[in-house]
Each structure stands twice: as C-alpha cells, then as structure tokens.
Amino acid sequence: MNSRRSWVIFGIGVFAYLIAVMQRTSIGVAGVAATERFHVSAAVLSSMAVVQLIVYAAMQIPVGVLIDRVGSRTLMLVGTVLMVIGQVTVAFAPTIAVAILGRVLVGAGDATVFTSLMRLINSWFRGRLVPQLSQWIGNIGQLGQVLSAVPFALLLHQAGWTTAFLTAASLSVIAVIGIVVAISDRPVGSTEGPRPATWGESLRQLRISLARPGTQLGFWSHFVTQSSGTVFNLMWGLPFMVFALGLPPAEASGLIIVSVVAGLIAGPILGLLTARFPLRRSNLVLAIVAMMGAVWALLLLWPGVPPTWLLVLVLVAIGIGGPGSLIGFDFARTSNPLHSLGSANGIVNVGGFLASFVMMFLIGLALDAQNTAHTTAGLYALDSFRWAFAIQYVIIGIGVAFLVHARRRTRRRMQEEEGIEVAPLWVALVDVWRRGRRA
C-alpha cells in the first residue's frame, strides 16, 4: 500500500480521467459550432449533452456492480475504447442524429473511468491520504476542461470540426495504452477478500449499499454540489457568455478555466478539512451550496448586463462545487466495506449527473419557450437566461431537503451502532468558544 507502484497507477489513472473529462466537455465549447453545423434549436442542441449525461448517469450503478465483480482495469479499458469510437463518430457525423449517437458512446465510455479510478485508489492506498487523493483525482481530472476550453476550442475554430474531434480521440488512444501497460486491480497479497461469485450476490451487495443512509447522504451531496458547474461548463455557459453577455468566443472559452483553477485551489483544502473533520463533512457541503446560491442570485438579479467580475465570482463558486461533490464519495467510503465500494461509488456518482441532465434539458426548454421571435438573439437573450438559470434553485432545493433527511438518518445510525453523537454545528462552535475562553 502507498508504494511506488501505487503512485504509478495513480498517475496513469488520473491521466485517463483527465482525457475522459476533456472528451465529456468538448461538446460544451463546440455548442456554437454545432448550432451552425447542424442548424438545430436550443432544445435539440441540449439533447446532445443531455443524452450523453443520461447514459453516463444510467450506467453508474451497473458500472459500480461490474467493478466489484470484474475489476476496475477491465472497465477503464473498455470505457476508454468506447470514447475513441464515440469521438470519431462525432468527427464525421453528417447529421445531428449521428452526432448524438457518438456522444452516447462517449457518455458510456466516460461512465467507467472515474468510478473505476476511485475504486483503485481505495485498493492501492490507505489512511488519511485517501480523501486527499480523491480530491486530487477530481482536481487534476478537471484540467480536462482546460484542454477542451483552450487547445480543443482553438483547433475547432482554426482546423474545423472533424480535425478537432479526431485529435481528441487520439488522446484517448494514448490513455488506452497506459491502462494496458500499467494498471492492475489490487496489490499482490491484498486482503480485500474475494469478488462476488454470482450476479445475484453482486445485486445483493448493491441493495445493501443503496439502503445505507451514508450512501444516500453521499448521493445527495453529489447531487447538490456538482450539477451547477456541469450544466454551465458542459452546455449553457458558452452561449450565455457569448450571446447574452456579449463576450468574444475566445474570451468566453478562456473564462471556463477560472472554475478549473478555483477547483484546483479549493480541492486540497476541502480534502484536508474532510480528513480533519469527518463528522462535519455535510456542513461543508451545505456551506458550498449556500455560497453558490448566493452568487447565482446576485448574477441573475443584477440590473442590466452583469459585470465581468461578477461572472468570475460565479465561475469561482461553481468551481468549488466540483471538489465539493467529491465529499459524497467519502461518505460512501466510510459507510461501506471495501468489497462493495464500487457499487456505493456508482450510486453516489449518479447524483450530480442526474441533477445536471434534468437542469440542462429544462433550461433548454425554458429558452425555447421564451424565444417568440425564433431568432438566435431571442433564443439566447439575457432576460431569457435569467429565468432559465433560476431552474437550478428548484432542483438543488429538492436535493438539499433530501440531503438533510439522509444526514439525520446517518447520524442516528452512527449513534445506535457506534455510540457517536454529532451535535448541531452551532452547539459545537459554542463549545469550542467556551473552551477557548477557559484556556
């Protein structure tokens, strides 16, 4: 554990995930080009990303079960090959239907990589390092957004649709080679225990994981923190910045990097706080959600065109939401045995993407409903975006209600099974303040 081999596997796995994120987010910066190439409405355009996310989310639980049954290496290998095929399909797509098929393959392949990598980390590392590495996986992986926002976008504008997507596919070929050469599922002599012998046993493990309040808490934590950033970066951020705010496309693509940088800075801090205060992880999640809600409200209620500094503030907030969503996997880790962690992580990873594709699609419908002039300017008008983006409050508000309920059940079980009672945050803070005064 925590050996040199462990770090090699970590490095190759993170590279594969970084490229997977680039493939996932490439359609976001290609949104304007896709509108011009296929001549489609906002709702149809959003379906490219929505279908991709539906496939991604729908496959998370099956992928988690397969990880526990056949291992992470096989799933990562098959998934990365699917992404190569998917991006090649998009590159040569003559119609929107073929492009959507390609994005379905990308979503299916993408669905395997992150959950497999999280499982590998728990097999090859031990101790307080695990939650910190989980944050680094998310942070380094999100640099894939930089690859799609800058070099991919530049190649798209200069060399065209086909060249850009073929180049993206070639990077996944490199990841395939790395997985074949370097990655194995577990160290020699691992004490994890045998994999499920039958599919019936695998499904039984899945049901047990799903019933655990800690797994449900992880699901809703992921649901409320990850979705806002995914919706903005993957689909609606670029049209909003270019058409509603009037920013040049190159500048808008570059601004996406702000959220990535914010996540890179916040991720290690959240990892340390998660390891240092494991009983206050849900408070971290709720604080991040409150922060995102506040800055979005300021942007949507701003009279006239919001200033660039406010847009940057929103990008910072949703960037912090990315590593904040990884706290959900720490709930799964501490609530489930290692032999069923793949299933639990799969359940958690559904959360943010379920919220994302629901919001993404509803935003597209809201924009179309307000476009009475049936023009691009009317479709992407600033006031239309104000109402459309407000949909986030409904979806995330529902998620917060379920999160609080799952937290209550999780704390009750901790008290019954481990004798650990978690006092409300304000009680704990008052206690710390009183001890400080006595000292």
> Which tens digit of pLDDT belongs to each residue from 397-418?
999 999 999 999 998 888 877 7
Domains and CATH numbers, the chain: 4-183+204-438 (1.20.1250.20)
pLDDT at 426 over 60: no
Confidence band, pLDDT 50/70/90 cuts, at residue 192: low
- Residues 265-290: tens digit of each pLDDT: 998 899 888 888 888 899 999 999 99
Confidence band, pLDDT 50/70/90 cuts, at residue 173: very high
The three-state (H, E, C) secondary structure of the chain, written as one string: CCCHHHHHHHHHHHHHHHHHHHHHHHHHHCHHHHHHHHCCCHHHHHHHHHHHHHHHHHHHHHHHHHHHHHCHHHHHHHHHHHHHHHHHHHHCCCCHHHHHHHHHHHHHHHHHHHHHHHHHHHHHCCCCHHHHHHHHHHHHHCHHHHHHHHHHHHHHHHHCHHHHHHHHHHHHHHHHHHHHHHCCCCCCCCCCCCCCCCHHHHHHHHHHHHHCHHHHHHHHHHHHHHHHHHHHHHHHHHHHHHHHCCCCHHHHHHHHHHHHHHHHHHHHHHHHHHHHCHHHHHHHHHHHHHHHHHHHHHHHHCCCCCCHHHHHHHHHHHHHHHHHHCHHHHHHHHHCCHHHHHHHHHHHHHHHHHHHHHHHHHHHHHHHHHCCCCCHHHHCCHHHHHHHHCHHHHHHHHHHHHHHHHHHHHHHHHHHHHCCCCCCHHHHHHHHHHHHHHC
Q: Give the span between the Cα atoms of 206 and 183, in whole angstroms.
A: 25
55 vs 315, residue with greater confidence: 315
167 vs 439, residue with greater confidence: 167
Of 37-41, 90-94, 362-366, 373-377, least confident by mean pLDDT is 373-377
Note whether 361 and 53 are within 8 A (CB).
Answer: no
Q: What is the pLDDT of residue 112?
A: 93
Q: Which one, of 88, 87, 85, 60, lies nearest residue 75 by Cα?
A: 60
Note whether 52 and 27 are within 8 A (CB).
Answer: yes
pLDDT at 432 over 60: no
Q: Give the span between the Cα atoms of 120 and 338, in whole angstroms.
A: 11
161 vs 189, residue with greater confidence: 161
Mean of per-residue pLDDT scores for the chain: 86
Torsion of CA 192, 197, 202, 203, to 10 degrees: -150
433 vs 304, residue with greater confidence: 304
Q: Give the span between the Cα atoms of 439 and 435, in whole angstroms.
A: 6
- Residues 29-79: tens digit of each pLDDT: 777 788 778 877 766 777 777 788 788 888 988 998 898 888 899 999 999
- Residues 294-314: tens digit of each pLDDT: 999 999 999 989 999 999 999
Q: What is the pLDDT of residue 351?
A: 92
Q: Give the span between the Cα atoms of 22 and 37, in whole angstroms.
A: 21
Q: What is the pLDDT of residue 373?
A: 61
Of 23-37, 235-249, 329-343, least confident by mean pLDDT is 23-37
Q: pTM for this structure?
A: 0.80
